[in-house]
Structure 1
Amino acid sequence: MSSGDRRLRVELLGEVRARADGRDLVLGSPRQRAVLAMLAVRVGGTVARAELIDGVWGDAAPASVEGSVYTYVHGLRRALSAAGEKVLIRSAAGYRLLLAPSQVDLSVAEAQVEKAREVATSGHQSAAADILAECLAQWRGSPLHGIPGPFAAAERTRLTEWRFELIEERADLMLAADRHREVIAELVEAAEEEPFRERLRAQLMLALYRSGQRADALAEFDNARLLLTDQLGLDPSAELTDLHLRMLRSDPALDLAPEPHVRAHSLTPAQMPHAVPDFVGRVRELQQLDEWRRTGATDGRPLVISAIDGAGGIGKTSLAVRYARQLTDSCPDGQLYLDLRGFDPKRPPLTTTEALSQLLWSLGCTRQPTNLEMQKSTYRALLSSKQVLILLDNAVSPEQVRDLLPGPSKNLLLVTSRNRLTGLVTQDGARRLTLGLLTETESLDLLRRVIGQQRVDAEPEHAAVLARLCGYLPLALRVAAEKASSGPRSSLRELVENLTEEKDRLDALHTDDEMSSVRTVISWSYASLPGPAARAFRYLGLLNTADIGVAAVAALIDRPAHETEEMLSTLCDLHLLDSTGSSFKSHDLVRLYASELAVRTENPEERSEAIRRLLAWYLYSVRSALLCTIPDYPIFPASVPEPRHTLQQFDTRESAYAWYEAEASNIAALTRRAAELGEHEVAWQLPWCMHDHYYSTGQLTEWLELLRVGLSSAEQLPSPEPQARLLNDLGIASSRIGRNDLAVRHLQRGIGIARKMNQPDILLRLLTNLASTLREMKSYDEGIVYGQEAWRLAVELGRPYEIAGTLDTLCELYVESNQPKQALECGKAGLDAARASQIGLPEANLLVNVAHAHRDLGDTAAATRRYETALELCAKLRDRYHEALALLGLAELHRRMSRYSDSREHAQRALSIFVSLDGEETDTAREFIAKLDAETRSDTS
């Protein structure tokens, strides 16, 4: 991160603003600032586009909302770039704000609260109170002030409530540190803001009382009673009333307590394990646990159960112990801890009798009943009048836990498990808290704490790679950090090099202590799997894909879909897989472990056959998607046997495009795998069948890479036809990134192959695309010659799709060579052909070109209608590229009518899309805006 970035600060605890070098940055409209607020609240984490839409617009999102998101993100990039390098980045999963926590006031406040609590735990209440004062100074008013949308509303409520909780927490520390006089003014101000908050009233009364202002303390109670009665019809709480009575009696216990002392009662259990010394993150999870505890204490329910589940090594026990240690004072009758050994590799899980016996002994019951029912009755009786926190660690099932639940009482029970414990949630009212991975920021913080800040900050790039290679899994991060710490002279770069090789990564994360080895921890979950699910887990290790659906896995493991779904659910329950709705994915380190098992236990021929089944399933599914988007496309025999498993089905073009988008990364990985296995028919067809997806989304770098893989495989086949088809796509993709010289070479090579083969449909496409490329090179006359040859060939073939494509190309050539009448003639005929073929992409391009022709002929109304029709079609097709072309055309139309404001708005939207697609038209849009601004200044001067 550059020094400029370090000076940037985003502030959320008041009016949302960003500052750099002592000045405010111009952040734009309220909704644009709402996008920044969402990214800053999750700083370092990825926020999906759908999350942004839901958080900023909610149910009121318009049809054009995705375009607005791109516009706002582009506006924020431009605003924040004034502070240094690029800090707002886009990935396939969404958007991330690359700032350190110290650059966002909310993150600073969260870190200060954590530090204050650590200081308070060590007995330094006064110092902790001062840290909380610094934290509270971060607030400049109502959080996210003036920001619209449901996310901002919810965060405003949460952060406002959190502020008052911190005020109360600081007041407790001040009172404990004999600083009651200092805190009075703060409590008066807070009580005026929140007059119905009785805990604040009680603290204010106590501060006044201890400061010798008894009359004021009693008057404060009278004020509270009148307010509650008059406005809410309520009496003061029992706590407030009791405090008032004790003050009337001059109860000596209200005076400052002596120094804290340790309870000596031998039956008060204190069994909680040591807290992890370098605990980081989990702020929201801890807040959620506390919210559930407070809700359970106030809504009449005597028992709060929190089931904390997550993958092995995710930090379930660390979180539970951390939270339990925060509640020492809230559980006066002690804390019980019991490891239920649900996933212990050497010992079986505890039985109910064994678990109850240990718990009863901890509660002081030395003469225990031997009958299970008597054990349960005694256990519940002992707890009925107590306030104990019970942590049941490593539960294997709801049944193991159910008989350990206290009866009606004020006890708090925490349960951790690798299983989801669904029965405990549905039948016993447990609140489920599923732990995810640490963020990149939290992971780096953990590395700093274990390795040392100086060493990590000295190699920031290698530290970031180290965190990524550990998959942001706390256990893996700790193992890697310990290895780095044990060799202070070694660099992080050396550790990263050891971890980079996938096959060696689990070895590099191995420790002498088996209980702390990443491979061992994952193996405990695997060992509990039934046979079929274990086999499915191993086979999933053969993949290097992202999310994968049930039908694809069914083909991989060669089982029916309903059986496959049950196995995947079992793997999800143990957090060996994560469900993402209709698909499943695994953590990188879990997948590496599954891959090790597959190589070690599965027959090599069976492994290869499984991959071939999956490749065939994807090939036939992607061909089905292609035929759904282009029904009359001249597809060819697959040359691969059709799988017997259910293929992906598509009812509409929209469903096919959605599947393309969801599966693109998988198809890319499988293309490379097919080439490695020598499955060349699959390796060339997969990227070829993805033409529409890559063309419309503009992911050209990825497409070019896959096309090159496919071409290498095509060159291994006896027929030259696949080469010609891929050379056509390579020409298109090369042209789209501005490499027209390279595009011409690919296309001319393909034309030579097609003429020798006497393949008119392939020749047609190559001619059309060569004409289009020559248009971009402004070689209009030569382009029109190739375009007319392509059109005549399309008419001979008699297929509407090809006719539409060739007329579209000629229309563009005529528009750009200032021949609008010929352009309109070709464009109208092309639209008829495109609609006859019922294919969206050529129709969208033709609509834009016909609109250009109308515009150049001076028919403004007709041009506007065509542009707007194109935008409606693009929204249906999710076609961002042609949407941007239509917007830029509208911008030029408005410019010619001297509507400069409308022109700039449309051009800016187009630019945002081109930037997001990394399109070659980005510079064209920027130049248009620059000329427009100059023209506007000239007209107004």
Structure 2
Amino acid sequence: MALRIAGQRGAARPHLPLAEILAELGDQDERLDVLSASDDETTSVRAVFAWSYRGLSPERQLLFRRLGLHPGTDITGYAAAALTDTTPSWARRALEALADIHLVEAFGPDLYRVHDLLRAYALERAETDDTREDRHAALRRLHAFYLHTSDAADRRLVIRNRHSPDAAPVPPHVPAFTTDEQARDWLRVEYSNLLAVVGHAADMGMHDLAWQISATMFATLDRLGHRNDWLITIQTGLASTRKLSDRVGEFTMLRAMVAPLTSLRRFDEAIDCGQQALNIARDAGEPADEASALDNLGGAYFEAGQRSAAADCYQASLDIQEEVGNDWAAAISQNRLGEVHRDRRRFDNGIDCHRRALKTFRAHQDLTREGWTLRLLGDAHLALGQFDQAIDYQTQAVAVLQGPRSLDEMARALCTLGDALEATGERRQAREHWSEPLTIFESCRLDRK
């Protein structure tokens, strides 16, 4: 019917360019008015939607209205439950009932979508039938759901130091991730919604939620490889921290911004953000944050080709971590310092750094970083032309790096192992080892689609 009405409007106004009519329809705030200009209820999109809406029970009317508040395109039972302050099981049954009369579309397990015209009508009803306070409370529950679920997925997939989100209480209904695959699946499904929610929270003045949701997404955005999305999301979070004068949040956002800027080769900006984060940590007298900022800044200097500055940052971070007794974090700095030494052809110094780091990670039973260190040792020996040692270390690395969290490191180890085998004349084995990273990288590429 919407297409028919749009066509009739175009036919009735042949003097108007089609682009102008399309512009009218492209304005989401005006689209329903454009398609409901007639007084005849049989030819008004808004009136036809109203017929279906009035046939709903009050509880399902509420759900339909709340769907218009959701800033993303897709919705699950959990998100619908947050909007309506109900349970996911009730929300799924209600969504299925709406799908039966075509007010929503079911297009996956516990995944629903609202047509943009119906979404506009739902938002219109919410603004008419619900108080501003009720709408605000519903959105804050929705944002809290995304905050804590994204944080749970991130913690499942990545072991790193982070501030626990405190912008909102943990909702009563949050999915439990018992496997890495469950966490990755949720993040893939909700990726576009998370981006939308960060911007929406900032627009609504919920700046505490905006920056903290952004902070939970670092690993997701890094893994998916969407550097521009990553940067925009962090910039939104950074702006929110500054509106709140939240120095802890500002430090977190500035430190996080270094990686995407570096990968986009915007080195001067990356170094500036890293230096700002370092200054905040020093002003606050937080040694752990200072060391973390130094590591990030060192990475930006390294990729920018400023090896001496990178070494200074890593050494300073290492000194701080050793002083406060954080041997695990010190080992990370040792590995990074070792990479700088190798790049500057100071191989003995680099190998010594990696061996010290290896001892620490083994003591902590950190298999992922043990494998990372073994790979770096293999790289160093390959650069020295010590092929047997390189093969041995990379073989150990591959054996240790098992599981989905270690795919990138395993792929790199296999590549270097292939290089070392080729150098010893084992070309058939080299090709076999090179083929495995291709499969790994292809699976990662599919993940990013």
**For residues 860 and 770 of structure 1, do their structure 2 counterparts lie closer, same or farther at Cα, with a shift above 3 Å needed?**
same
Q: Assess if the C-alpha contact under 8 Å between 2:152 and 2:177 holds in 1.
A: yes
Q: Return the alpha-carbon distance in structure 1 between the equivalents of residues 423 and 392 of structure 2.
A: 16
**For residues 556 and 668 of structure 1, do their structure 2 counterparts lie closer, same or farther at Cα, with a shift above 3 Å needed?**
same
1:762 aligns with 2:289: yes
What residue in structure 2 maps to residue 367 of structure 1? none
What residue in structure 2 maps to residue 810 of structure 1? 337
Q: Return the alpha-carbon distance in structure 1 between the equivalents of residues 362 and 54 of structure 2.
A: 58
1:588 aligns with 2:95: no
**For residues 777 and 533 of structure 1, do their structure 2 counterparts lie closer, same or farther at Cα, with a shift above 3 Å needed?**
same
Q: Assess if the C-alpha contact under 8 Å between 1:852 and 1:863 holds in 2.
A: yes
Structure 1 residues 62-101: Cα deviation after superposition (integer angstroms, max 9, x where no partner): xxxxxxxxxxxxxxxxxxxxxxxxxxxxxxxxxxxxxxxx
1:567 aligns with 2:94: yes
Measured after TM superposition, the shift of residue 572 of structure 1 is: 2.1
What residue in structure 2 maps to residue 667 of structure 1? 194
Q: Return the alpha-carbon distance in structure 1 between the equivalents of residues 88 and 43 of structure 2.
A: 37
558-567 or 904-913, which deviates more: 904-913
1:777 aligns with 2:307: no
Q: Assess if the C-alpha contact under 8 Å between 2:143 and 2:201 holds in 1.
A: yes
Amino acid corresponding to residue 431 of structure 2 in structure 1:
D
Which residue, 261, 270, 291 being the options, matches 1:743? 270
1:830 aligns with 2:357: yes
What residue in structure 1 maps to residue 105 of structure 2? 578
Q: After superposition, where does 1:458-469 map in structure 2 within 5 Å?
A: none
What residue in structure 2 maps to residue 477 of structure 1? 3
Partner SS state of residue 295, structure 2: helix
Amino acid corresponding to residue 22 of structure 2 in structure 1:
V
**For residues 849 and 509 of structure 1, do their structure 2 counterparts lie closer, same or farther at Cα, with a shift above 3 Å needed?**
farther
Q: After superposition, where does 1:701-716 map in structure 2 within 5 Å?
A: 701-716=228-243
Partner SS state of residue 716, structure 1: helix
Q: Return the alpha-carbon distance in structure 1 between the equivalents of residues 164 and 238 of structure 2.
A: 18
Which residue, 605, 619, 628 being the options, matches 2:147? 619
Measured after TM superposition, the shift of residue 804 of structure 1 is: 4.3
Q: Name the count of aligned residue pairs.
A: 442
Amino acid corresponding to residue 757 of structure 1 in structure 2:
A
Partner SS state of residue 542, structure 1: coil
**For residues 526 and 758 of structure 1, do their structure 2 counterparts lie closer, same or farther at Cα, with a shift above 3 Å needed?**
same
Q: Assess if the C-alpha contact under 8 Å between 2:391 and 2:421 holds in 1.
A: no
Partner SS state of residue 584, structure 1: strand
What residue in structure 2 maps to residue 497 of structure 1? 23
**For residues 521 and 878 of structure 1, do their structure 2 counterparts lie closer, same or farther at Cα, with a shift above 3 Å needed?**
farther
Measured after TM superposition, the shift of residue 773 of structure 1 is: 1.6
Q: Return the alpha-carbon distance in structure 2 between the equivalents of residues 700 and 548 of structure 1.
A: 25
Measured after TM superposition, the shift of residue 637 of structure 1 is: 5.2
What residue in structure 2 maps to residue 698 of structure 1? 225
Give the unaligned 5+ runs of structure 2. Answer: none
Q: Assess if the C-alpha contact under 8 Å between 1:808 and 1:842 holds in 2.
A: no
Measured after TM superposition, the shift of residue 862 of structure 1 is: 5.3
Measured after TM superposition, the shift of residue 767 of structure 1 is: 0.4
Q: Assess if the C-alpha contact under 8 Å between 2:411 and 2:437 holds in 1.
A: no
Amino acid corresponding to residue 617 of structure 1 in structure 2:
F
Amino acid corresponding to residue 625 of structure 1 in structure 2:
A
Question: How big is the alpha-carbon RMSD for the aligned residues of Structure 1 and Structure 2?
Answer: 3.4
Q: Return the alpha-carbon distance in structure 1 between the equivalents of residues 293 and 49 of structure 2.
A: 52
Q: After superposition, where does 1:364-763 map in structure 2 within 5 Å?
A: 475-510=1-36, 512=38, 514-579=41-106, 580-630=108-158, 633-636=160-163, 638-763=165-290
Measured after TM superposition, the shift of residue 571 of structure 1 is: 1.5
Amino acid corresponding to residue 706 of structure 1 in structure 2:
T
**For residues 834 and 494 of structure 1, do their structure 2 counterparts lie closer, same or farther at Cα, with a shift above 3 Å needed?**
farther
Q: Assess if the C-alpha contact under 8 Å between 2:368 and 2:406 holds in 1.
A: no
Amino acid corresponding to residue 141 of structure 2 in structure 1:
R
Q: Assess if the C-alpha contact under 8 Å between 1:815 and 1:853 holds in 2.
A: yes
Q: Return the alpha-carbon distance in structure 2 between the equivalents of residues 830 and 482 of structure 1.
A: 72
Amino acid corresponding to residue 610 of structure 1 in structure 2:
A
Partner SS state of residue 666, structure 1: helix
Partner SS state of residue 244, structure 2: coil
Q: Which has the higher contact order (CA 8 A, sep 6+)?
A: 2
Amino acid corresponding to residue 737 of structure 1 in structure 2:
L
Q: After superposition, where does 1:43-58 map in structure 2 within 5 Å?
A: none
Q: After superposition, where does 1:174-323 map in structure 2 within 5 Å?
A: none
Which residue, 348, 355, 359 being the options, matches 1:821? 348
Structure 1 residues 661-689: Cα deviation after superposition (integer angstroms, max 9, x where no partner): 33222221111111112221111111112
Q: Assess if the C-alpha contact under 8 Å between 1:522 and 1:593 holds in 2.
A: yes
Q: Return the alpha-carbon distance in structure 2 between the equivalents of residues 547 and 606 of structure 1.
A: 22
Amino acid corresponding to residue 591 of structure 1 in structure 2:
R
Q: Assess if the C-alpha contact under 8 Å between 2:157 and 2:405 holds in 1.
A: no
Amino acid corresponding to residue 197 of structure 2 in structure 1:
L
**For residues 481 and 796 of structure 1, do their structure 2 counterparts lie closer, same or farther at Cα, with a shift above 3 Å needed?**
farther
Q: Return the alpha-carbon distance in structure 2 between the equivalents of residues 693 and 902 of structure 1.
A: 32
Measured after TM superposition, the shift of residue 693 of structure 1 is: 1.3
Measured after TM superposition, the shift of residue 581 of structure 1 is: 0.8
Q: Return the alpha-carbon distance in structure 2 between the equivalents of residues 838 and 742 of structure 1.
A: 37
Amino acid corresponding to residue 902 of structure 1 in structure 2:
R
Q: Return the alpha-carbon distance in structure 1 between the equivalents of residues 418 and 104 of structure 2.
A: 48
**For residues 896 and 504 of structure 1, do their structure 2 counterparts lie closer, same or farther at Cα, with a shift above 3 Å needed?**
farther
Q: Return the alpha-carbon distance in structure 1 between the equivalents of residues 220 and 17 of structure 2.
A: 43
Structure 1 residues 166-222: Cα deviation after superposition (integer angstroms, max 9, x where no partner): xxxxxxxxxxxxxxxxxxxxxxxxxxxxxxxxxxxxxxxxxxxxxxxxxxxxxxxxx
Measured after TM superposition, the shift of residue 782 of structure 1 is: 2.1
Measured after TM superposition, the shift of residue 532 of structure 1 is: 0.7
**For residues 582 and 910 of structure 1, do their structure 2 counterparts lie closer, same or farther at Cα, with a shift above 3 Å needed?**
same
1:858 aligns with 2:412: no
What residue in structure 2 maps to residue 902 of structure 1? 431
Q: Assess if the C-alpha contact under 8 Å between 1:827 and 1:850 holds in 2.
A: yes
Amino acid corresponding to residue 116 of structure 2 in structure 1:
D
Q: Return the alpha-carbon distance in structure 1 between the equivalents of residues 114 and 366 of structure 2.
A: 37
**For residues 508 and 823 of structure 1, do their structure 2 counterparts lie closer, same or farther at Cα, with a shift above 3 Å needed?**
farther
Q: Return the alpha-carbon distance in structure 2 between the equivalents of residues 660 and 871 of structure 1.
A: 28
Structure 1 residues 870-928: Cα deviation after superposition (integer angstroms, max 9, x where no partner): 59948613856x566456545654664574993996599499769959x9xxxxxxxxx
What residue in structure 2 maps to residue 302 of structure 1? none
Q: Assess if the C-alpha contact under 8 Å between 2:414 and 2:434 holds in 1.
A: no
Amino acid corresponding to residue 65 of structure 2 in structure 1:
R
> Structure 1 or 2: larger helix share?
2
TM-score normalised by L of structure 1: 0.43
Q: Return the alpha-carbon distance in structure 2 between the equivalents of residues 492 and 886 of structure 1.
A: 57
Measured after TM superposition, the shift of residue 839 of structure 1 is: 6.7
Amino acid corresponding to residue 339 of structure 2 in structure 1:
E
Measured after TM superposition, the shift of residue 762 of structure 1 is: 1.7
Q: Return the alpha-carbon distance in structure 2 between the equivalents of residues 592 and 872 of structure 1.
A: 53
Structure 1 residues 382-409: Cα deviation after superposition (integer angstroms, max 9, x where no partner): xxxxxxxxxxxxxxxxxxxxxxxxxxxx
Partner SS state of residue 112, structure 2: strand
Q: Return the alpha-carbon distance in structure 1 between the equivalents of residues 198 and 431 of structure 2.
A: 45
Structure 1 residues 612-669: Cα deviation after superposition (integer angstroms, max 9, x where no partner): 11112222223333333445x4443534341442223222344333333332222211
Q: Return the alpha-carbon distance in structure 2 between the equivalents of residues 797 and 774 of structure 1.
A: 25
The percentage of aligned residue pairs carrying the same residue is 27
Amino acid corresponding to residue 150 of structure 2 in structure 1:
V
Partner SS state of residue 190, structure 2: helix
Partner SS state of residue 668, structure 1: helix
Q: Assess if the C-alpha contact under 8 Å between 1:617 and 1:642 holds in 2.
A: no
Q: Return the alpha-carbon distance in structure 2 between the equivalents of residues 865 and 570 of structure 1.
A: 61
